[in-house]
């Protein structure tokens, strides 16, 4: 089959545009929730690790093991494994709403890990200097630790977004749509390779764009 660009656009444009929006929707919602959950967990991991201010073997090890377990399960399996839990939590396991839960379960622990390593990079001398000035621990966490780690946090989130976009490709299986789903259905199942190529190009552009925005933001915040 051969189309002109106009014909292609007329025929598939609306659908691809819709799929792009669905991908953005899934990624942004699950990213927001994952950061809200992952950042505090990352902080907790840093504070409770051995030789740190709130050292707590049980909290640290429990978190550690939990994160490792969720991170060892491939997303596609997590998606099905979590079906009952998802239905219980949001009333449905289908559509964008249904896919957010597994996406968050998949991404939040990953973000917790990325936050942990970003926060560990912060020079502990600075934290000590603030402690010596009589500043509350929660202020030190937010205004010193998280602040100083911002460049690495941004880079971490960039990596997480890219992982999330990959995971949303499988979201089609629960009818959530998205670009990956379009590429799979039309390219593989209905043999419309042009549609697949176009969606792949769009995905590549999005990922390149996100990575360079992330790099630029991080560099700007780094101040050196």
Partner 1 sequence: MIQLKNISKTFYSKNKEVEALKDVSLEVKKGEIYGVIGYSGAGKSTLIRCVNLLEKPSSGDVYVNGQKMNSLSPAKLREARKKIGMIFQGFNLLQTATVYENIAIPLKLTGVSKDEIAKRVDKYLEVVGLQDKKESYPSQLSGGQKQRVAIARALSHEPEVLLSDEATSALDPETTESILALLLKINKEFGITILLITHEMHVIQKVCDHVAVMENGEIIEQGTVMELYSDPKKETTKKFVNSLFPHDIPEAGLNVMKQQGPIVTLTFVGESAGRPSLSMVSKKFDVHTNILSGNIIQLKTQPYGRLVAHIQGEKAETDKVMEYLREEGVRVDEVNIDEL
Residue 67, token pair as written in the block: 């994160």
Q: Of the candidates 135, 159, 162, 200, which one interacts with partner 1 according to CB under 8 A?
A: 135
Does 143 bind partner 1 (CB under 8 A)? Our answer is: yes
Is residue 126 within the footprint of partner 1 (CB under 8 A)?
A: yes
Size of the chain in residues: 224
> Contacting partner 1 (CB under 8 A), which of 48, 148, 187, 214?
148
Q: How far apart are CA 214 and CA 224, in angstroms?
A: 17
Stretch that binds partner 1, among 58-66, 102-110, 140-148, 196-204 (CB under 8 A): 140-148
Interface with partner 1 (CB under 8 A), residue total 23
Q: Is 47 helix (H, G, I), strand (E, B) or coil?
A: helix
Q: How far is CA 86 from CA 83, 176, 204, in A?
A: 5, 14, 30
Q: Does 223 bind partner 1 (CB under 8 A)?
A: yes
- Site for partner 1 contains 139 (CB under 8 A): yes
Which residues, numbered 105-124, are part of the site for partner 1 (CB under 8 A)? 123
Taking each helix axis from N to C end, the angle separating 95-120 and 14-48, rounded to the nearest 10 degrees, works out to 40
CB of residue 223 to partner 1, shortest distance in Å: 4
CA 171-173-178 angle, to 5 degrees, is 40
| 100-117 burial code (b ≥16 CB/10 A, e <16) | bbbbbbbbbbbbbbbbbe
Of 57, 71, 136, 190, the one binding partner 1 (CB under 8 A) is: 136
Interface residue list for partner 1 (CB under 8 A): 123, 125-126, 128-136, 139, 143-144, 147-148, 150-151, 221-224
């Amino acid at each position: 089959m051969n189309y002109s660009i106009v014909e292609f656009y007329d025929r598939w444009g609306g659908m691809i545009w819709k799929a792009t929006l669905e991908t953005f929707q899934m990624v942004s919602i699950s990213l927001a929730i994952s950061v809200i959950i992952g950042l505090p967990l990352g902080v907790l991991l840093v504070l409770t690790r051995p030789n740190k201010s709130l050292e707590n073997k049980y909290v640290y090890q429990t978190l550690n093991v939990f994160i490792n377990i969720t991170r060892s399960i491939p997303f596609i399996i997590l998606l099905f494994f979590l079906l009952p839990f998802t239905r219980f939590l949001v009333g449905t396991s289908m559509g964008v709403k249904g896919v957010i839960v597994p996406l968050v379960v998949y991404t939040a622990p990953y973000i917790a890990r990325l936050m942990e390593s970003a926060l560990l990079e912060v020079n502990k001398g600075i934290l000590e200097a603030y402690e010596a000035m009589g500043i509350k621990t929660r202020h030190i966490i937010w205004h010193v630790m998280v602040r100083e780690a911002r460049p690495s946090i941004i880079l971490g989130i960039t990596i997480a977004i890219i992982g999330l976009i990959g995971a949303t490709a499988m979201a089609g299986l629960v009818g959530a749509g998205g670009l990956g789903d379009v590429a799979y259905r039309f390219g593989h199942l209905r043999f419309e390779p042009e549609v697949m190529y176009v969606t792949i190009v769009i995905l590549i552009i999005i990922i390149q764009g996100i990575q360079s925005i992330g790099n630029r933001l991080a560099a700007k915040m780094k101040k050196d």
